[in-house]
């Protein structure tokens, strides 16, 4: 069993995302540890890719910066191994099917197990094609995190009933990015999920303010914040650590 369930054992979970290698792999490790210190319950680490179709401009730019800095999947695995010596926080990769396929499913998921990765999110892998890598993931104890979007409708229960780890509920149509309003009927989606699974459901895409965190955490089991953290890194670069700590601490405290 992965460590993912630990993120939801103490109430509402705050899940923070950042892109590995932005501005460097060494700084990514520092930023992760700042987030842990601030009370983050689970870390999502983006493996940079040249065509991140689910991402808005903020995370697209982070991918470009990370790749330009020479970030590779092997370097990210080494970084995770180093992080694992300092914290037991659950860690989930977010990447696209191409980098996993190119690395080799067997090698990739074995490396996840060996370095201490607990799960993976693959936004461009359709539910119907999940079996392509699910056996390798399962044999290595790696949860494939299912994403449920507002357009899933009738497929919500089908996807949720086959999920593992936690369920990533997409709050809004479109790509990632900070939003001033989230108008999706999240309560209805969450209710449908809870009818078929006891897995926790965390909401992401667009959450960036304390007010949004408070409101959404009333019904969701956790909130996921990515673009707002990546924006801090974009602004402060190597000096982003303290600012990431302050921001993530305020968001975690908002959902307690």
Question: Between residues 171 and 234, which one has the greater pLDDT?
Answer: 234
Query: In this structure, what CATH number is given to the domain that contains residue 21?
Result: 3.20.20.70
pTM: 0.93
How far is the first Cα of the chain from the last one, in angstroms, to the nearest whole number? Answer: 26
The whole-number pLDDT of residue 151 equals 73
Nearest to residue 164, comparing CAs of 4, 12, 47?
4
The whole-number pLDDT of residue 181 equals 44
Taking the mean position of all CA atoms in its chain, how far away is CA 127? Answer: 18
Distance CA 100, CA 114 (A): 16
Is the confidence at residue 2, as pLDDT, over 90?
A: no
pLDDT by residue (tens digit) across 77-118?
Answer: 999 999 999 999 999 999 999 999 999 999 999 999 999 999
Residue 175 domain flag? no
pLDDT by residue (tens digit) across 175-189?
Answer: 444 444 444 678 888
145 burial type by CB count under 10 A (0-12 exposed, 13-18 middle, 19+ buried): buried
In the three-class reduction of DSSP (H, G, I as helix; E, B as strand; rest coil), residue 203 is classed as strand
Total domains in the chain come to 1
Beta bridge partners of 224: 15
The whole-number pLDDT of residue 180 equals 41
Residue 101 domain flag? yes
Is the confidence at residue 174, as pLDDT, over 70?
A: no
Residue 3 domain flag? no
Q: What percent of the chain has pLDDT over 90?
A: 80
| Packed helices 105-115 and 131-139: angle between N→C axes, nearest 10 degrees | 40
In the three-class reduction of DSSP (H, G, I as helix; E, B as strand; rest coil), residue 18 is classed as strand
DSSP letter string over 74-138?
Answer: HHHHHHHHHHHTT----EEEE--HHHHHHH-HHHHHHHHHHHT--EEE-TTS-GGGTHHHHHHHH
The whole-number pLDDT of residue 52 equals 75
Buried b vs exposed e over 168-188: b needs ≥16 C-beta within 10 Å?
A: bbbbbeebbbbbeeeebebee
The whole-number pLDDT of residue 183 equals 40
Residue 233 domain flag? yes
| Packed helices 57-68 and 227-236: angle between N→C axes, nearest 10 degrees | 50
Q: What percent of the chain has pLDDT over 70?
A: 93
Residue 110 domain flag? yes
Averaged pLDDT for residues 223-228: 96
* Residue 232, domain extent: 12-144+208-254
Residue 126 domain flag? yes
CA angle 236-99-6, nearest 5°?
Answer: 65
The whole-number pLDDT of residue 100 equals 96
Is the confidence at residue 230, as pLDDT, over 50?
A: yes
pLDDT by residue (tens digit) across 126-173?
Answer: 888 999 899 999 999 999 999 998 776 678 889 999 999 999 999 864
CB count in 10 Å sphere of residue 51: 10
Contact 47, 60 (CB under 8 A): no
Structure tokens at 186: 């999240």
- Number of residues assigned to the chain: 256
Residue 170 domain flag? no
Residue 68 domain flag? yes
CB count in 10 Å sphere of residue 72: 17
The whole-number pLDDT of residue 152 equals 66
Averaged pLDDT for residues 194-221: 94
Contact 48, 19 (CB under 8 A): yes
């Amino acid at each position: 069993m992965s460590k993912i369930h630990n993120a939801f054992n103490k109430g509402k979970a705050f899940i923070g995302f950042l892109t590995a290698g932005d501005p460097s792999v060494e700084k990514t490790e520092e930023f992760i540890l700042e987030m842990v210190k601030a009370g983050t319950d689970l870390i999502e680490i983006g493996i940079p890719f040249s065509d991140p179709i689910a991402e808005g401009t903020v995370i697209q730019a982070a991918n470009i910066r990370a790749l330009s800095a020479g970030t590779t999947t092997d370097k990210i695995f080494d970084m995770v191994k180093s992080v694992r010596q300092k914290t037991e926080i659950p860690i989930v990769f977010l990447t696209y099917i191409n980098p996993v396929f190119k690395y080799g499913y067997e090698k990739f998921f074995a490396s996840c197990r060996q370095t201490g990765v607990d799960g993976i999110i693959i936004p461009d892998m359709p539910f119907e094609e999940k079996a392509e890598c699910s056996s390798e993931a399962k044999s290595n104890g790696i949860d494939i995190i299912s994403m449920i979007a507002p357009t899933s409708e009738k497929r919500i229960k089908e996807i949720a009933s086959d999920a593992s780890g936690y369920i990533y509920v997409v709050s809004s149509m479109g790509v990632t990015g900070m939003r001033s309003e989230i108008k999706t009927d999240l309560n209805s989606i969450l209710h449908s999920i809870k009818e078929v699974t006891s897995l926790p459901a965390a909401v992401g895409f667009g959450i960036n303010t304390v007010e949004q965190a408070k409101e959404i955490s009333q019904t969701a089991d956790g909130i996921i914040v990515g673009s707002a953290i990546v924006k801090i890194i974009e602004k402060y670069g190597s000096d982003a650590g303290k600012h990431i700590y302050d921001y993530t601490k305020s968001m975690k405290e908002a959902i307690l």
